[in-house]
Amino acid sequence: MNPKRERIIPHKRGLLPLSTSSSTSTSSSSLTRSKVHKAINPSAVPAIIQLQKPVFSSLNATIEKEEEHKQENKRKRYATTLEDNNENTNKVIRIEFDSSQAPQPFLEPELAQRIIEARRKKRIEEESEKEDVNKDATADLNTEREVRRRAAQRDYGRLRSSLRLRKYHYRSIPQDTQMAPQKRKAPNGAEVSSARRNNVSQPNGQRQNNDINAPHPGAQQAENFGIVLREFYPPEMSNARCEAYNNGTLERPVDTLNRAYAETDPIRKEIKPRNAVVHWFKGDLRLNDNRALKMASELAAKNEIPLVCMYIMSPQDLTAHCSSPARVDFTLRNLRVLQRELGTLDIPLYIETQERRRNIPERIGELCEQWGASHLFANIEYEVDELRREAKLVRLLADKGIAFETAHDSCVVTPGALQSQQGKQYAVYSPWYRAWMGYLHQHGDHNLRVLEPPGKNHESARSHFGDLFDSQIPGASENRRLSDEEKQRFEKMYPEGEQEARKRLDEFITTRVKEYSKKRSMVDGQYTAILSPYLASGVLSARTAVSKAKDANGGYLDGKNASLASWISEVAWRDFYKHVLVHWPFICMNKCFKPEFTNVTWEYDTDLFTRWTEGQTGYPIVDAAMRQLRHDAWLHNRNRMIVSSFLSKDLMIDWRRGERYFMETLIDGDFASNHGGWGFGSSTGVDPQPYFRIFNPLLQSEKFDPNGDFIRKWVPELSDIKDSKAIHDPYGRGAGAIAQKAGYPRPIVEHAASRVRALKRYKEGIARDKP
Ligand SMILES: Cc1cc2nc3c(=O)[nH]c(=O)nc-3n(C[C@H](O)[C@H](O)[C@H](O)COP(=O)(O)OP(=O)(O)OC[C@H]3O[C@@H](n4cnc5c(N)ncnc54)[C@H](O)[C@@H]3O)c2cc1C
């Protein structure tokens, strides 16, 4: 046994007054911890503990001192104070514990003082916040009271008295009456809408509002059509609120996290390693090239304490984030591999299900305390919920004397690192890509450095954290469960594990990549890497992917081999969309990158939407793609573009419903890439194709599936059509009889007419907010 390691196990270096033998208990870690708690629980023993430097020298002495203060403790039962005893050169610190509270972990006195001061400051801040009415004005629309108050002002107020307001007032507004513009007679007798009178726009016939706390006029429709999940989120925000994020009136979530770090920095810096270091796995299900895991592992090794890993599954989170059953299954399968591989390093992977996502930060705090962990590490996820949760966790843990450190890991270049010459975030891919490339030329040594997996724990970790090694992988929640047949299918198509990801990457880069630059858009064969499930779940890092491609390209990121360079530039799109998400966080709140596009008048026809999801539109290429999506939980990029354009422009259906459907179906669902792709397809996003460039599904079909092989594979009703022209448009090109006999539908819309409608609606929509 490593003698040094022996020394730093807290109870063995005299920090904790307990004698435990690693061989005496089946789950000595939890037992140790619970005994420790009992031993230091002020309700069980001392209410006042004299701590001296070196701090936790002897419990007996502490108990004696405690007796002296017993009476005083009774009086101040609920107080938590800290006093310096200046008479003592060793700076005696007296901490009075609130004996009704959970036991406090042992802390260095200075740290304890800082924590107490931070708590006091926080209390003062909270008090002043309550009184700060202005704060209310910028708060998120997340309280019922706020929503109702706002409703009482403006248009909704008129309806309010006649409606029974329940949980949220919007729910109660009948669709036909909601936000209908008020009419009055113009002098010439013509009807004039109140909106025009007030010189405000009317998206979907509704009134636009410049109040950042008012919902968007189309909020009710977005809710009714399943775009905004009101169970978890406030109503769709106004466009003015998006602008408030852009102009800095509202804080971006990434800045909220940064502020949490800045404000807790003095506390976190002081935190010394204790019993364990924890790594929290989220969307980084791998051991290799994992920055936060590496940091955790190094800190644990340096201090010769165990590394503990955990994963928290929240069914509520999965629902709120529309995670697909295929993606959940893939996650669970990868966790199994991860747990096995960590086990070989004597590192436990503790897995827990937390039904309510709100409870996650508190629960993590409890677990860290239970394990005596001083440091928690995780990689940053850039979605809004996650950034805000992490900001909360940084403070909550700092308050407990635990440092929560995060790493930028999922992008090759960290979001925020690239700015235009004017100091702005890029919103167009090409200049961004040049900057990305330039950055990597300068910082490649760091940004493309592939990290080693974590080192092995000392074997004593098994006795200290024995029960954690037995942690069970949960099953998928009922609404995310696959059938047995689907499970087997996906297991075969997307085997789990890092090894599989690396095998695919190597195979692609060494052989299949050759045709990539020429054929990557063709849908009639497999010309792309199909690595997106692995990248999206973090089973493979983008850094590793780019770094290996660069090596294969003789050290070049661009140029030389056109296919490898082109593939690297595709992986860069993934970075690009994450950068966009961080800078324009409202896209994660059901808004378009260009909010004015929310003013376009969309259709909300559930029947048409279902025809699209089921691949029954009468457009063979669209139907083939949508059927493949259901079957494979994956789709070629070109097909994603075709079907997203078809939904938003040919059917004129609010594209955000399609965005959600993709997330609920794809195995590689990734918010930033999915939103970015939908923004492109619907021309509402960053760097989109202009709205007036509308994909013609027939031309796309002929170009990217010239012989119709892809269509025949996925639309068996058309497999008897041998003609390579007719297959793309059976009813228009003489194969209608075959199609009809096989029950294949006629086109549900006429493309030429739809195109005209789309052009008109887009033009009107984006003009609405203009003065
Ligand atoms: C409407 C729409 C929705 C999309 N939704 C997602 C999604 O939820 N998750 C997702 O990972 N990708 C999404 N994409 C991007 C792209 O379609 C997939 O990444 C790609 O099809 C994955 O296949 P591959 O691994 O064989 O790609 P390859 O061509 O081999 O590319 C390698 C990797 O580069 C990245 N990549 C390639 N193209 C893009 C792109 N246009 N945008 C972002 N990253 C890219 C992916 O991580 C991909 O795995 C979407 C695109 C559109 C148009």
Lowest-confidence segment of 81-85, 154-158, 619-623 by average pLDDT:
81-85
Residue among 676, 470, 416 at smallest CA distance from 27: 470
Amino acid 134: pLDDT = 36
Residue given tokens 């590689």 in the structure block = 668
368 band by pLDDT with thresholds 50, 70 and 90: very high
Q: In what order do the strands lie in the sheet with 92-96?
A: 48-51, 92-96, 82-85
How many angstroms separate the CA atoms of 581 and 677, rounded? 13
Verify whether residue 570 is a known catalytic residue.
Answer: yes
Nearest CA to ligand 1 atom 44: 574
Residue 125 has pLDDT above 90, yes or no: no
Which ligand 1 atom minimizes the distance to the CA of 516?
Answer: 29
* Whole-Å CA distances, 263 to 122, 190, 234, 255, 270: 11, 60, 28, 12, 13
* Whole-Å CA distances, 49 to 38, 74, 537: 14, 14, 47
Nearest CA to ligand 1 atom 22: 532
535 band by pLDDT with thresholds 50, 70 and 90: very high
Please give the single-letter amino acid code of residue 292: A
Annotated binding site for FAD: 516, 528-532, 567, 570-577, 668-670
72 band by pLDDT with thresholds 50, 70 and 90: low
Answer yes or no: are the C-beta atoms of 479 and 572 closer than 8 Å.
no
Greater pLDDT, 484 or 129: 484
* Whole-Å CA distances, 651 to 608, 625, 644, 730, 751: 7, 16, 10, 20, 9
Residue 273 has pLDDT above 90, yes or no: yes
Ligand 1 pocket test, candidate residues 574, 635, 666, 683, most atoms within 8 A of CB: 574
Q: Is 144 exposed, middle or buried (0-12, 13-18, 19+ CB in 10 A)?
A: middle
State ipTM: 1.00
Task: Tell me the CA–centroid distance for residue 310 and ligand 1, in Å.
Answer: 29
Nearest CA to ligand 1 atom 6: 674
How many angstroms separate the CA atoms of 539 and 504, rounded? 12
Q: Residue 321 corresponds to which tokens in the numbers above? A: 């984030």
Lowest-confidence segment of 22-31, 262-271, 464-473 by average pLDDT:
22-31
Q: What is the pLDDT of residues 195-213, one digit of tens each?
A: 333 323 344 444 456 789 9
Q: What is the pLDDT of residues 380-420, one digit of tens each?
A: 999 999 999 999 999 999 999 999 999 999 999 999 999 99
Query: 392: helix, coil or strand?
Result: helix
Specify the pairing of strand 307-313 against strand 276-281.
Answer: parallel
Which ligand 1 atom minimizes the distance to the CA of 643?
Answer: 1
Task: Tell me the CA–centroid distance for residue 620 and ligand 1, in Å.
Answer: 22
Please give the single-letter amino acid code of residue 19: S
Ligand 1 pocket test, candidate residues 513, 534, 570, 643, most atoms within 8 A of CB: 570
Amino acid 226: pLDDT = 95
Helices (H), 198-307: 219-224, 239-246, 253-270, 291-302
Q: Is 209 left (phi over 0), alpha (psi -120 to 50) or beta?
A: beta
Residue among 697, 721, 734, 567 at smallest CA distance from 622: 697
Annotated binding site: 516, 528-532, 567, 570-577, 668-670
Residue 93 has pLDDT above 90, yes or no: no
Average confidence (pLDDT) over 330-334: 98
How many angstroms separate the CA atoms of 172 and 189, rounded? 34
Nearest CA to ligand 1 atom 41: 573
Residues 289-292: contacts with CB within 8 Å, 24+ apart?
A: 289/450, 289/451, 289/541, 289/543, 289/544, 290/379, 290/409, 290/451, 290/453, 290/538, 290/541, 291/379, 291/407, 291/408, 291/409, 291/451, 292/377, 292/378, 292/379, 292/405, 292/406, 292/407, 292/409
Percent of the chain scoring above 70 in pLDDT: 73
Specify the pairing of strand 349-353 against strand 373-379.
Answer: unpaired
Which ligand 1 atom minimizes the distance to the CA of 674?
Answer: 5
Percent of the chain scoring above 90 in pLDDT: 68
Task: Tell me the CA–centroid distance for residue 67 and ligand 1, in Å.
Answer: 67
Greater pLDDT, 708 or 51: 708
Answer yes or no: are the C-beta atoms of 560 and 553 closer than 8 Å.
yes
Nearest CA to ligand 1 atom 5: 674
* Whole-Å CA distances, 469 to 329, 343, 721: 22, 7, 58
Task: Tell me the CA–centroid distance for residue 528 and ligand 1, in Å.
Answer: 10
Nearest CA to ligand 1 atom 43: 574
Verify whether residue 655 is a known catalytic residue.
Answer: yes
Answer yes or no: are the C-beta atoms of 441 and 546 closer than 8 Å.
no
Which ligand 1 atom minimizes the distance to the CA of 534?
Answer: 49
Amino acid 210: pLDDT = 75
Specify the pairing of strand 92-96 against strand 183-185.
Answer: unpaired
Average confidence (pLDDT) over 229-235: 95
Residue 514 DSSP class: G
Ligand 1 pocket test, candidate residues 411, 523, 532, most atoms within 8 A of CB: 532
Residues 467-471: contacts with CB within 8 Å, 24+ apart?
A: 467/26, 467/27, 467/29, 467/30, 468/29, 468/308, 468/348, 468/349, 468/350, 469/343, 469/348, 471/339, 471/348, 471/349, 471/350, 471/351, 471/352
Residue 64 has pLDDT above 60, yes or no: no
Amino acid 768: pLDDT = 78
How many angstroms separate the CA atoms of 503 and 337, rounded? 15
How many angstroms separate the CA atoms of 269 and 421, rounded? 35
Answer yes or no: are the C-beta atoms of 706 and 724 closer than 8 Å.
yes
* Whole-Å CA distances, 528 to 125, 249, 352, 515, 547: 53, 43, 36, 9, 18
Q: Which of 72, 570, 614, 750 is catalytic?
A: 570
Residue 101 has pLDDT above 90, yes or no: no
What number of H helices and E strands is found in the chain?
35, 10
Which ligand 1 atom minimizes the distance to the CA of 577?
Answer: 43
Amino acid 128: pLDDT = 56
Verify whether residue 637 is a known catalytic residue.
Answer: yes
Answer yes or no: are the C-beta atoms of 589 and 212 closer than 8 Å.
no
Specify the pairing of strand 276-281 against strand 373-379.
Answer: parallel
Amino acid 108: pLDDT = 58
Residue given tokens 């007032």 in the structure block = 169
Lowest-confidence segment of 174-188, 276-290, 566-580, 722-736 by average pLDDT:
174-188
Q: Which of 678, 702, 714, 717 is catalytic?
A: 678
Answer yes or no: are the C-beta atoms of 64 and 49 closer than 8 Å.
no
CA dihedral 247, 249, 255, 256 (to 10 degrees): -160
Q: What is the pLDDT of residues 645-682, one digit of tens each?
A: 999 999 999 999 999 999 999 999 999 999 999 999 99
* Strand partners of residue 92: 85
Residue among 489, 409, 477 at smallest CA distance from 667: 489
Pick the most confident of 87-96, 176-185, 369-378, 458-467. 369-378
* Residue 696 CB neighbour total at 10 angstroms: 15
Q: Which of 41, 258, 359, 637 is catalytic?
A: 637
Q: Which of 573, 612, 634, 714 is catalytic?
A: 573
Helix axes 637-645, 671-681, angle to 10 degrees: 50
Q: Where are the beta strands (DSSP E) in 314-407?
A: 349-353, 373-379, 403-407
Amino acid 70: pLDDT = 59
Amino acid 81: pLDDT = 28
Q: Is 771 exposed, middle or buried (0-12, 13-18, 19+ CB in 10 A)?
A: exposed
Ligand 1 pocket test, candidate residues 382, 540, 628, 673, most atoms within 8 A of CB: 673
Which ligand 1 atom minimizes the distance to the CA of 576?
Answer: 43
Which ligand 1 atom minimizes the distance to the CA of 531?
Answer: 25
Task: Tell me the CA–centroid distance for residue 636 and ligand 1, in Å.
Answer: 8
**What are the DSSP calls for 73-102, one per residue?**
HHHTTT---EEEETT-TT-EEEEE--TTSP
Amino acid 596: pLDDT = 86
Verify whether residue 134 is a known catalytic residue.
Answer: no
Helices (H), 91-238: 109-131, 133-138, 144-152, 154-160, 169-172, 194-197, 219-224
Task: Enumerate residues lining ligand 1, CB below 6 A.
Answer: 520, 528-532, 535-536, 570-571, 573-574, 577, 636-637, 640-641, 644, 662, 666, 668-670, 673-674, 676-678, 680-681
Residue given tokens 């033998």 in the structure block = 21
Q: Is 277 left (phi over 0), alpha (psi -120 to 50) or beta?
A: beta
631 band by pLDDT with thresholds 50, 70 and 90: very high
Task: Tell me the CA–centroid distance for residue 74 and ligand 1, in Å.
Answer: 64
Average confidence (pLDDT) over 509-522: 96
Amino acid 102: pLDDT = 32
Q: Which of 371, 602, 612, 634 is catalytic?
A: 602
Residue among 738, 648, 650 at smallest CA distance from 685: 648
Amino acid 635: pLDDT = 98
Amino acid 687: pLDDT = 72
Mean pLDDT score across all residues of the chain: 80
Helix axes 325-344, 484-493, angle to 10 degrees: 60
Amino acid 329: pLDDT = 98
Amino acid 766: pLDDT = 84
Task: Tell me the CA–centroid distance for residue 479 and ligand 1, in Å.
Answer: 26
Greater pLDDT, 319 or 165: 319
Residue 169 has pLDDT above 60, yes or no: no
Amino acid 112: pLDDT = 64
Which ligand 1 atom minimizes the distance to the CA of 542?
Answer: 47
Query: 350: helix, coil or strand?
Result: strand
760 band by pLDDT with thresholds 50, 70 and 90: very high
Task: Tell me the CA–centroid distance for residue 425 and ligand 1, in Å.
Answer: 22
Task: Tell me the CA–centroid distance for residue 532 and ligand 1, in Å.
Answer: 6
Average confidence (pLDDT) over 142-146: 41
Task: Tell me the CA–centroid distance for residue 717 and ligand 1, in Å.
Answer: 29
3-state per-residue secondary structure call for 558-571: CCCCHHHHHHHHHH
Lowest-confidence segment of 137-146, 299-308, 548-557 by average pLDDT:
137-146
Nearest CA to ligand 1 atom 49: 532
Greater pLDDT, 45 or 471: 471
Q: Alpha-carbon Rg of the chain, whole angstroms?
A: 30
Nearest CA to ligand 1 atom 30: 529
Backbone angles phi, psi at 164, to 5 degrees: -85, 105
Lowest-confidence segment of 160-164, 408-412, 596-600, 643-647 by average pLDDT:
160-164
Domains by residue range for the chain, with CATH: 145-175+206-248 (no CATH), 253-410+449-458 (3.40.50.620), 413-447+497-589 (1.25.40.80), 592-767 (1.10.579.10)
Amino acid 203: pLDDT = 44
Q: Which of 280, 584, 634, 655 is catalytic?
A: 655
How many angstroms separate the CA atoms of 222 and 229, rounded? 9
Cis, bond preceding 747 (omega within 30 deg of 0): no
